[in-house]
Amino acid sequence: MVAKPSDPPKSPLKPRSHSHHQTMSINLTTTQTVRELTRLERIGAHSHIRGLGLNDGLEARAGSQGMVGQEGARRAVGVVSRMIEEGKIGGRAILLAGKPGTGKTAIAMALSRQLGESTPFTSMSASEVFSLEMSKTEALTQALRKSIGIQILEETEVMEGEVVEVQIDTVAKKGGMEKTGRLTLCTTDMETVYDLGTKMIDMLSKEKITAGDVITIDKASGKITKLGRSFSRSRDYDAMGSTTRFVQCPEGELMKRKEVVHNVSLHEIDVINSRQQGFLALFAGDTGEIKSEIREQIDAKVVEWKEEGRAKIIPGVLFIDEVHMLDMECFSFLNRALESDMAPVLVIATNRGIAKIRGTEYKSPHGIPLDLLDRLMIISTEPYTHDEIRKILAVRCEEEDVEMADDALELLARIGMETSLRYAIHMIITSSLAAEKRKSSQVEIEDIKRVYKLFVDVKRSTQYLMEYNKEFMFNELDEEDDFGMVDTEKEGASPGKDEMETSP
Ligand SMILES: Nc1ncnc2c1ncn2[C@@H]1O[C@H](COP(=O)(O)OP(=O)(O)OP(=O)(O)O)[C@@H](O)[C@H]1O
Ligand SMILES: [Mg+2]
């Protein structure tokens, strides 16, 4: 990716020594990133969501940032997001409760986008706790600690300037040859010549520093970082790769004090400091269990840094989706964890009504034990109206780059009402393939009908099972089983149905 010359370097201490490695440099230093990368995101279930779509008064704007309807829940989550941003709450828990497909996961994703890069947001599904090679409580502890950010402030002195000249001489000395050198650096206001030791000479040649480069030298470590080529050299003849980055010649004093901010999570500090694992485990994700003594030491250290003003604690969010998959042990662990000083905000979601708590015979609302429920603020999501479904489908069409005729969209919205929002969403791309096959760039009613026949929704599939249950293996149909078929009976036939059957 070619950096635009107009981008000023925002964080000069970022390692960017080899221009062709730019995009790969691991950056613990700041949240500011100069690069703009082309969006390589795949289209996912929630990729159309860019935020909660609220105005300054936290009122839900109609169809904003990819969010449609669900005003109450969006507003409530907006209040939570503001409290998190102001650092007012930690250790609170919010439950998003509602029927399947009412946007609970979508709203959690919106919260994450809303909070932005600097607030840690960890998202997991409750069942992950059971599928890792570690105890459930360890998995939860790691997730909680991933959701707490620590901002470490560090002040360093650097020299920053444009290289005017590098002069290296080899002179004969007693006992062999020795290199001596001089480096001339300038800013727009001053110019200074420095004598170089052997170490610096090696460093300069390793980094291939030449006249016209803009560099920083860390005073304490002597580390040289190339920021780019000076604009004054942008017309030079020499063969510069397309990755060459142009920057302004720095202004003012050559010697500058820089404040560097390192953003890390508590979990990352844990891993780096647990000697068995080493930091490479961060890449493999294979961190194993971390000893509690290490965590205690780290917590104490972080508190100390905080008191000295060298670190800030940023409580983030841990989102656990499908939370009814947790068992008693996990729930009671969470109860306790929420009371710790460094707890993040916990957001959980479930579509369960009164259900058994996993691994027990006890029933409880949402499948969550009452003592945890008591600590939760509950936000409920409401089923969508026909209009809202239509709007969500329209947003998805745009996201998936599918053009759809108005009447086709209307039919799809009706199907969405009758079957499920997800089923309708899945029909978008499939019907666009059907349209493509007809060499049409727009999805018409006939494409929707075609796909409606090819892929059955849950209701039709269940109906089929009911009718032909004798021919399937291991069927266990009881008299009272209806699998949510009640709705259909109430309404008679599905409204899309007559249209469907007229299709060729
Ligand atoms: N208000 C909304 N605005 C825009 N898109 C939405 C909205 N609500 C839901 N969607 C989209 O509809 C689909 C289903 O919603 P989602 O997955 O959030 O449902 P859910 O409540 O989490 O359901 P479940 O209980 O089954 O997990 C997703 O693709 C989601 O992005
Ligand atoms: Mg969900």
In the predicted structure, residue 18 carries a pLDDT above the cut 80: no
Instruction: Tell me the average pLDDT across 277-303.
Output: 75
Domains and CATH numbers, the chain: 71-147+316-381 (3.40.50.300), 154-260 (2.40.50.360), 387-502 (1.10.8.60)
Which comes out higher in pLDDT, residue 348 or 256? Answer: 348
Q: Which two tokens stand for residue 292?
A: 């509690």
In the predicted structure, residue 388 carries a pLDDT above the cut 50: yes
Q: Which protein residue has the closest C-alpha to ligand 1 atom 31?
A: 46
> What is the pLDDT at residue 214?
92
Which comes out higher in pLDDT, residue 32 or 266? Answer: 266
Q: What is the pLDDT of residues 248-264, one digit of tens each?
A: 888 888 888 888 888 88
In the predicted structure, residue 493 carries a pLDDT above the cut 50: no
Report residue 222's pLDDT band, with 50, 70 and 90 as the boundaries. Answer: confident
Instruction: Tell me the average pLDDT across 211-220.
Output: 88
Q: What share of the chain is helix, strand, coil (3-state, %, to 5)?
A: 35, 25, 40
> What is the pLDDT at residue 231?
83
- CA dist., res. 288 & res. 278, Å (int): 11
Q: How far is the CA of 49 from the centre of ligand 2 (A)?
A: 14
**Mean pLDDT computed over every residue of the chain:** 80
Instruction: Tell me the average pLDDT across 107-134.
Output: 87
- CA dist., res. 220 & res. 474, Å (int): 73
Q: Using an 8 Å Cβ cutoff, are 342 and 315 in contact?
A: yes
State if residue 53 touches ligand 1 by the CB under 6 angstroms criterion: no
In the predicted structure, residue 242 carries a pLDDT above the cut 80: no
State if residue 74 touches ligand 1 by the CB under 6 angstroms criterion: no
State if residue 103 touches ligand 1 by the CB under 6 angstroms criterion: yes
Instruction: Tell me the average pLDDT across 377-402.
Output: 93
Measured in whole angstroms, how far is the alpha carbon of residue 365 from the centre of its chain?
Answer: 30
- CA dist., res. 479 & res. 430, Å (int): 36
Q: Which protein residue has the closest C-alpha to ligand 1 atom 6?
A: 103
Q: How far is the CA of 328 from the centre of ligand 1 (A)?
A: 27
Which comes out higher in pLDDT, residue 200 or 145? Answer: 145
State if residue 366 touches ligand 1 by the CB under 6 angstroms criterion: no
Instruction: Tell me the average pLDDT across 266-286.
Output: 71
94: β partners: 347, 377
Q: Which protein residue has the closest C-alpha to ligand 1 atom 29?
A: 45
> What is the pLDDT at residue 122?
92
Instruction: Tell me the average pLDDT across 186-196.
Output: 90
Ligand 1 atom at minimum distance from 104 CA: 21
pTM to 2 decimals?
0.72
Ligand 1 atom at minimum distance from 381 CA: 21
Q: What is the pLDDT of residues 68-85, one digit of tens each?
A: 989 999 999 999 998 888
Q: What is the largest CA-CA distance in the chain?
A: 103
Q: What is the pLDDT of residues 123-138, one digit of tens each?
A: 999 999 886 678 899 9
Q: How far is the CA of 106 from the centre of ligand 1 (A)?
A: 5
Q: Of 82-86, 339-343, 433-437, 456-460, which has the strongest mean pLDDT?
A: 433-437
CB crowding 251-263: b at 16 or more within 10 Å, else e? eeebebeeebbeb
Q: Which two tokens stand for residue 88?
A: 């007012």
- Percent of the chain past pLDDT 90, that is, above it, reads 35
Q: How far is the CA of 443 from the centre of ligand 2 (A)?
A: 28
Q: Which protein residue has the closest C-alpha to ligand 1 atom 7?
A: 103
State if residue 392 touches ligand 1 by the CB under 6 angstroms criterion: yes
State if residue 420 touches ligand 1 by the CB under 6 angstroms criterion: no
Report helix, strand or coil for 431: helix
- CA dist., res. 37 & res. 20, Å (int): 15
> What is the pLDDT at residue 185?
92
Measured in degrees and rounded to the nearest 5, phi and psi for residue 264 equal -135, 165
State if residue 101 touches ligand 1 by the CB under 6 angstroms criterion: yes
In the predicted structure, residue 31 carries a pLDDT above the cut 70: no
> What is the pLDDT at residue 280?
59
> What is the pLDDT at residue 286?
62
